[in-house]
Structure 1
Amino acid sequence: MSDPDHPASAAPARRSLFVDTTPLRESPPFARLWGGNAIAGIGSQITVVAVGLQIYDITHSTLAVSFVALFALGPMVVFGIYGGMLADVFDRRKVALISALVAWAATAGICALAWLHNETVWPLYVLTMLNTVGATVFASADTAITPRLLRKELLPAAAALNGISAAISITVGPAVAGVLVAAVGFAPTFSIDVVTFTCAFLAVLLLPPVVPEPGAERPGLRSLIEGARFLRRAANIRTSFIADIIAMTFGQPRVLLPAVGALLIGGGAVTVGVLTAGYAIGGLISSVFSGPLGHVRAQGRAVGRAITVYGAAILAFGVVLLVQSLDGHGRVSQHWGDVHWPSLIAAAAALLVAGGADNVSAIFRGTILQASAPDAMRGRIQSVFIVVVTAGPRVGDLYIGAVSAIWVALWPGPVAGGVLIVVLIFVLMRTQRSFREYDALHPVA
């Protein structure tokens, strides 16, 4: 008999280069949830890019674009943690539905402001903050639902499938956003998200109740302290969080993209869409061909190597911006036909590698958490994971925006950030022996 907890003892399975789609075939509720989130994610990414473009259009300031992160960061952390406690105590389906309604209402508000030709940025900050809060709580509940819908041994395949849906969203959404903003303006662009979000809502609505297990700690200080104590003991999970914080804090150049399209490479909003899509295509490719990742035992080392590649790719992106800034001579056009093609291709290639490496890291980090965290802690620890992966990029937005404002240039942030990522990950892997020696056949938190 094979032992699902020890894959090496099972009969050898046929290895495939492609992602395992068994979760979609075995669990119709998971398939609906996966499809709904993928469609809604496209609209969400359209809004993320369009909000940045609109704020830059109003202020002509990269720092103002990065302030979106400042307004959302604190509430996202607080409600993300609280959402994890809610997911451990209440029906996770109801938690997901209520939080989805909050996120949808905020998106509808952003859309309404655009139709009313709003030229003030602070309402966009507030509504984006509310959208982020709703989306973070939704993600905490949604991710905690997945283990109830699938066999435990299918969770890594589910993580790779979720990587594909996220990559499709980030690939299609920004590209569509760039084209739509350039062609029809902000209001119709935001309207797409209002419509597509209903797909995620309906997918959750069709789920059966996902009630908590008996004995769950009520939301509050005791529950929070219990989760914090576990995380303090869980060195490998904690190290995976730190690794992602390093990567996202110093390696998120997305707030630069409106200025890159307007001032450096040319092409305006369409260039922003292409560069953002390049990052996502890398994630999509690594997910589609994720079959071999399921056979990697040294998952801690794999995380370190993936993030090192990520840092090198961000450094390369910064070098492209540096070279173009020295060679551009200020001759930049918003017209797509006048874009500087060599720089655009090189920048997109660097971001493609970065996106692929980031996704590989995410697959392994998610697998480590799912395999080693006890079920009673999954909601709270998963909420911390979601806060890390969503807050990190926003801290990175602030870092990149501040460095660009101080240096009055676009390239210093990604160049310095890429170097910092490589150095800090090297130090982390050398000092965290248990993470470096983590064995997927014997998962230890």
Structure 2
Amino acid sequence: MAGIFQQPAFLRLFLSNLVSQVGNKVHRIALLALVNEMYGLVWTGVVISAQLFSRVILGPLLGPLVDRNDRRLIMLYSDLVCVGLVALIPLLGIRSLGALIALTVLVAATDALRYPALNSAVADLVPESSLDQANSLLLLTNRVAEIGFVALAGLLVAGVGFAPAFYLDAFSYLISALYLLRLPALKPKPSPRRRYLTALLEGFGPLWHNRTLRYSVLSITIAALFGSAEAVLGYVLAVKVLKIGVQGFGVMEALTAAGALLGFLWVPHITRRIARERLFLLALMAFGFIYASMGAFPYPIWVGVASFLFGVANAGFIVPMRSILQIAAPPDQRGRILGTFISLTDAAQIGGATLGATLAAMLGITEAMVFCGLAVTAVAIAVTLLGGIPEASAAPTTAKT
């Protein structure tokens, strides 16, 4: 896998993303600390919700900008804008709740531009045969940042306060931008311009008419809805059923993260032997069964093993999913399709937390986990019985933006 770093452009994109992800983890802890300290717990939930819903809403709306402009510049300008926005949070956010919410929403808007541009750029920078390696490494940066820097961010905020943490995050955006400066131009092919609304609506067409995209996005969205319920159910399972407390839940999360790290390293080797589309469905089935098994066999040792396998299976379908979308999406619509995909999965994750709490109240904790896990598996089986996901092939440029 290290061979892909011999491609200088991808190496710069990888380093930019790594620095940005580290800054994001620091930002998350600092934002929670600031809002909770200055405005209280209720407003903490409001600010975080505003951030999440902004990404969900703006992802599809900003997609045409990604497809119409140089993707390198989209990422670069997003980072540079964030340098200023994040630096203003400790200056204005402590004085005005409205200013804090506005700055948070604006940062989320830059994310809604940056992430589709980033994922579109991967397909522009590396050959199709290397997409799984590239996507694995980019996803790996998120996990590494989460494991290695969330705790350090907490120590930083506790030791010196939230303001220096925000300035560190702003500096991380600046470093990320410096790496992006050395990327080649990633301009779209020239095409006649259409009205923005027309271009926006065109981006939804392939998600319905292209069977590969339709089945892939539908499967992953439903899986995200039921799978995200684990964030609530897993915690309650650890505390109330297994009686291992918050520390035990932390161990479960660490095992899941370790499994995901292994999975991200393992998947590129597997896709050399198994088609991406087949691996996606097999891993999704396994993910659901493992998820259900935690509720069916609620014993600490098994739940620990299952948590690790849960992470492996999660990586097993996320990596090929990214590659499938990048290949199957028409190049001139890739930003819109990936922006919509990210928004759908974010929305499903928000709904999953509510779903988990609702099902736990209705069915019981373990029963809810079994139900959610089997629902994920059922989706993968249903798609398989319908003929599976057609092999992704490079889509021609079809739309005018």
TM-score bin, normalised by smaller chain:
0.7 to 0.9
Q: Does structure 1 residue 196 correspond to structure 2 residue 172?
A: yes
Residue of 290, 308, 311 corresponding to 2:267? 290
Residue of 274, 292, 310 corresponding to 2:287? 310
Residue of 125, 145, 149 corresponding to 1:169? 145
> Distance in 2 between the 1:98 and 1:158 partners?
23
Residue of 217, 227, 232 corresponding to 1:241? 217
Quote the residue 2:314 is aligned against.
Answer: 358
Shift of 1:212: 2.2
Residue of 27, 30, 43 corresponding to 2:10? 30
> Distance in 1 between the 2:110 and 2:354 partners?
21
> Distance in 1 between the 2:109 and 2:200 partners?
18
8 Å CA contact 1:88, 1:216 repeated in 2? no
> Distance in 2 between the 1:134 and 1:22 partners?
31
Quote the residue 1:8 is aligned against.
Answer: none
Which structure 2 segments of 5+ residues have no match? 397-401
TM-aligned CA distance change 1:73 to 1:205, over 3 Å: same
> Distance in 2 between the 1:123 and 1:383 partners?
26
TM-aligned CA distance change 1:190 to 1:353, over 3 Å: farther
> Distance in 2 between the 1:356 and 1:307 partners?
11
Shift of 1:361: 0.6
Query: Could you report, residue by residue, the CA deviation over 1:264-299 in whole angstroms, capped at 9, with x for unpaired residues?
Result: 64457xx77655443332221112223422324443
Letter in 1 for 2:19: I
Shift of 1:98: 2.8
Quote the residue 1:143 is aligned against.
Answer: 119
Residue of 300, 314, 319 corresponding to 2:277? 300
Shift of 1:215: 0.2
SS at match of 1:215: coil
> Distance in 1 between the 2:368 and 2:334 partners?
35
Shift of 1:147: 2.8
Query: Could you report, residue by residue, the CA deviation over 1:25-82 in whole angstroms, capped at 9, with x for unpaired residues?
Result: 02x1220110121132123134446656887898778xx8776664344432332123
Quote the residue 1:158 is aligned against.
Answer: 134
Residue of 49, 52, 76 corresponding to 2:55? 76
Quote the residue 2:372 is aligned against.
Answer: 417
Query: Could you report, residue by residue, the CA deviation over 1:147-204 in whole angstroms, capped at 9, with x for unpaired residues?
Result: 3323343323212222322332232233434555677765665555344333322222
> Distance in 1 between the 2:283 and 2:67 partners?
31
**Backbone CA RMSD of aligned residues:** 4.0
Which structure 1 segments of 5+ residues have no match? 1-19, 324-342
Quote the residue 1:11 is aligned against.
Answer: none
Quote the residue 1:382 is aligned against.
Answer: 338
TM-aligned CA distance change 1:408 to 1:152, over 3 Å: closer
> Distance in 1 between the 2:173 and 2:266 partners?
28
SS at match of 1:423: helix
TM-aligned CA distance change 1:79 to 1:241, over 3 Å: same
Quote the residue 2:68 is aligned against.
Answer: 89
Letter in 1 for 2:5: L
Identity %: 25
TM-aligned CA distance change 1:409 to 1:133, over 3 Å: farther
SS at match of 1:295: coil
Query: Could you report, residue by residue, the CA deviation over 1:245-266 in whole angstroms, capped at 9, with x for unpaired residues?
Result: 1221122234678888998644
Quote the residue 2:399 is aligned against.
Answer: none
> Distance in 2 between the 1:298 and 1:426 partners?
17
Residue of 39, 60, 66 corresponding to 2:19? 39
8 Å CA contact 1:250, 1:414 repeated in 2? no
TM-aligned CA distance change 1:301 to 1:209, over 3 Å: closer
8 Å CA contact 1:175, 1:274 repeated in 2? no
How many corresponding residue pairs?
392
> Distance in 2 between the 1:36 and 1:381 partners?
23
TM-aligned CA distance change 1:106 to 1:272, over 3 Å: farther
> Distance in 2 between the 1:303 and 1:166 partners?
20
> Distance in 1 between the 2:95 and 2:356 partners?
29
TM-aligned CA distance change 1:143 to 1:233, over 3 Å: same
